[in-house]
Chain A
Amino acid sequence: MLPNGPIKKILVYIDGSEECIAAAQYAIVLAKSFGARLTALYIVNISLLEELVKARIFIKIEEMDYQQDLEQDGKRYLHYISEMARSKGVEIRTELVKGIVNKEVVKKIDELEIDLLVMGELEQIHSRSETFHDEAEITFRKAGCSVLVVKDPERVERIFELME
């Protein structure tokens, strides 16, 4: 453990993808190695729901229903990640908020004075327009701290499993 290391506060962004599990595992390993405080953040992406209501694909009742689904998903993921952290003796704080993903992550980085944002591998960008819609991509660019994009989930899992 490096109690006076350069990384004291880590934020891991959880989006419900397989990639975010690897990100959480790596964040737990780093938090333990650096003695850093770890926060996991899940954001209910209400901007997409609003986009669908505006496009008339969703009606209001559906928007609410899907919002609840996303909240449930978020709680499930955060609980799972909390258990992973506890299994390695790492304290973790979890937060579930609603909003526009990139704005909420940037806000949380400022609010908690985060040193390092950890996130799962970014999706491949196929078109210019995707760079405007992919929340992970936007978050990566807008984050006001260093960002670690976790790759090679199999290797990360091995590191996580080997950590005592």
Chain B
Amino acid sequence: MRISDLLNDAMITVSFEDTTKENVIRTLIDLASGSGRIQDKETALKAVMERERLMSTGLEKGVAVPHAKTGTVKDLVLTLGISREGVDFASADGKPSHLFFLLLAPVAAAAPNIQALAQIARLTGNPEFCEMLKKAQSPKEALEIIRKAEK
């Protein structure tokens, strides 16, 4: 599975100004909601925050992958936020997070959900990819970086 197939320019923001975990997630959900892919934003937010309460999805090296299964989406929904300053996302290494991949999945779509998360894990496991993505100046550029990495 290619995550670039799940994204488009409207699902990416490179000018994140949020400073809290909840606001970051809210902004990413708003991005998806703008394209009509989420029926109920508050339900989606609640599902993601509940998962975050179990343990932060802030990984190492500035990457966070908030995710949840929710009945408020019909297909996989992925949005990407990039913050140059970084946000305290209670990450595993204690450092600020810069790249936020938010994935919402329908309740009955375990296999594609897992495949998409695994693809995010593989891509973000490459420090060069993360550095390039962090510097993207526009959603278009960010998407191009992801497409190239997936070729």
Interface residues of chain A, those whose CB is within 8 Å of chain B, are 15-16, 45, 48-49, 51-52, 55-59, 61-62, 66, 69-70, 73, 126-127, 129, 133
Contacts and interface: CB of A to CB of B under 8 A. Distances in A.
A61 B110 contact: no
Interface in B104-151: 108, 110-111, 113-115, 117-118, 120-122, 125, 150-151
Contact of B111 (A16, A58, A59): A16
Given A48-B115, A55-B121, A56-B60, 15 more contacts: A49-B114, A52-B114, A55-B59, A55-B125, A56-B59, A57-B59, A57-B67, A57-B120, A66-B114, A69-B110, A73-B108, A73-B110, A126-B151, A129-B122, A133-B118
Interface of B: 2, 51, 54-55, 57, 59-60, 65, 67, 92, 108, 110-111, 113-115, 117-118, 120-122, 125, 150-151
6 contacts: A48-B118, A51-B121, A52-B118, A55-B121, A57-B59, A66-B110
Contacts of A133: 118, 122
B58 to A, nearest CB: 9
With most chain A CB atoms within 10 A of its CB, the pick from B51, B92, B151 is B151
Contacts of B113: 66
B111 A52 contact: no
Contacts of A126: 2, 150-151
A56 B118 CA distance: 11
A26 B121 CA distance: 35
Nearest to B2: A126
Given A51-B121, A55-B125, A70 B55 contact: no
Contact of B110 (A55, A57, A70, A129): A70
B100 to A, nearest CB: 13
B65 A59 contact: no
A55 B115 CA distance: 13
Contacts of B125: 55
A61 B54 contact: yes
B111 A57 contact: no
A61 B50 CA distance: 13
Nearest to B58: A56
Contacts of A56: 59-60, 92
A57 B57 contact: yes
B122 A73 contact: no
A70 B114 CA distance: 10
A15 B55 CA distance: 30
Given A56-B92, A57-B67, A70-B110, A51 B151 contact: no
A62 B66 CA distance: 13
Contacts of A15: 111
